[in-house]
Homo-oligomer: A and B are copies of this chain.
Amino acid sequence: MYAVHNQPHVLEILQGYKVGELSPEEPSLPAPGDPYAGDPPRHPALKVNSLKPFNAEPPAELLTENYRTPNQLFFKRNHLPVPAVDPASYRLRVEGPGGRALALSLAELKSRFPKHEVTVTLQCAGNRRAEMSCVRPVKGLEWGVAAISTARWGGARLRDVLAHAGYAEEEEEAGERHVCFEGLDKDQSGAAYGASIPYRTAMGRGAEVLLAYEMNGEELPRDHGYPLRVVVPGVVGARHVKWLGRVSVSGEESPSHWQRNDYKGFSPAVDWDTVDFTTAPAIQELPIQSAITEPAPGATVPPGELTVKGYAWSGGGRGVVRVDVSLDGGRTWRVAELTGEEQRPGRAWAWRLWCLTAPVPPDCAALDIVCKAVDASYNVQPDTAAPIWNLRGVLSNAWHRVRVTVAED
């Protein structure tokens, strides 16, 4: 379907770059008839997992340099070519109850609805897939640990827009309904990317689902959905539909391939011959996750003292309450220090970064560094990847392990 490019190690590329001083590469010349010819330029530090559609993650060690990921370094996960949207003629179609529909311009979205800002971590369902494919091959892009990033998003609240269109707060005993999103990105048959979320996620009191036009105080970049995208705090990236064209409410989930026949979890016993996508729920809230971003796997660390860094995040607004780090493969543990913005109980939408400085045990030639996090519901990460292996390689949240060599004193 698409070519996978193996990039040379990023450290060479990074020479001369510092976060905050990033400058994009010159765009390459478009090939005639290439649907990806109009894709925007990207930062060369990104590790590209697929060029067409563009899928890339930042180097892990850059990821945790900033609590809010700079827009250019934010992981990019496109399913289709980036559409070229004219902001002047852009209209968001919102289908109201009873067949009425609104067509909202960008100016109307910005002026009619209060601007709401919220810091939200987005994670791809396939983050850390590479570890799962070490167990057994899976179908999907080989994401490392950095298909996750955090930004401050600004936009109209979806609940305000839906209320304006005539929808009410959820009735208690109403049947299950869904808010469906359709992107302006289309495949060659004309089918658009699509996804849906439960109505209660959108319309609950205090719900913070955004129709976002700002990312870290800037206009939404083209790779992140310009001019408008959905941001669903606490929910898998696949539902944060970019280049949003249409919003509707339905008694059924989005009919999109990506809602019905992808982004679902299965038992390790299920393979491509036996899988039945109707038997598993579409991934919405993600489970507790953490990973080590420093040191890098295979690095040589000095004896004496070691600093380990990483991130931790959980879905559904469940805050991270603790990160345990082991230097001996999980036999003994220390508690890491958590940093980042204050977490609102039940609405902890953004990650914590963490750090542990600990003595390297003397006469130790190698360290097996492990991290595991605990969320506000005291859910924990599983010890190993094999028992959560699944044919699509999603939901890879076992303990993260990094083996390093200790330099001689």
Contact = CB atoms under 8 A, between A and B. Distances in A.
Interface of A: 169-170, 172, 176, 198, 200, 204-206, 265, 267-270, 280-281, 283-288, 315-316, 318, 321-322, 324, 330, 332-335, 345-346, 372, 374, 376-384, 387-388, 395
Given A335-B269, A345-B176, A380 B382 contact: yes
B384 A383 contact: yes
21 contacts: A170-B206, A172-B206, A176-B345, A200-B346, A204-B205, A265-B321, A267-B334, A267-B335, A280-B321, A281-B321, A281-B376, A285-B377, A285-B378, A287-B379, A288-B379, A316-B316, A324-B387, A333-B387, A372-B387, A380-B387, A382-B383
B198 A346 contact: yes
Contact of A381 (B265, B382, B384): B382
Copies of this chain present in the complex amount to 2
Nearest to A395: B378
Contacts of A334: 267, 269
A267 B322 contact: yes
A265 B265 CA distance: 28
Instruction: Tell me the interface secondary structure of chain A in the complex.
Output: loop
B265 A374 contact: yes
A326 to B, nearest CB: 8
Contacts of A384: 383
A346 B201 CA distance: 10
Contact of A286 (B198, B283, B378): B378
B315 A377 contact: yes
A267 B374 CA distance: 9
Contacts of A176: 345
A377 B287 contact: yes
Contacts of A378: 265, 283, 285-287, 395
When A and B form their complex, which 6 residue pairs have the shortest distance between CB atoms, in order from nearest? A383-B383, A285-B377, A287-B379, A379-B379, A269-B333, A172-B206
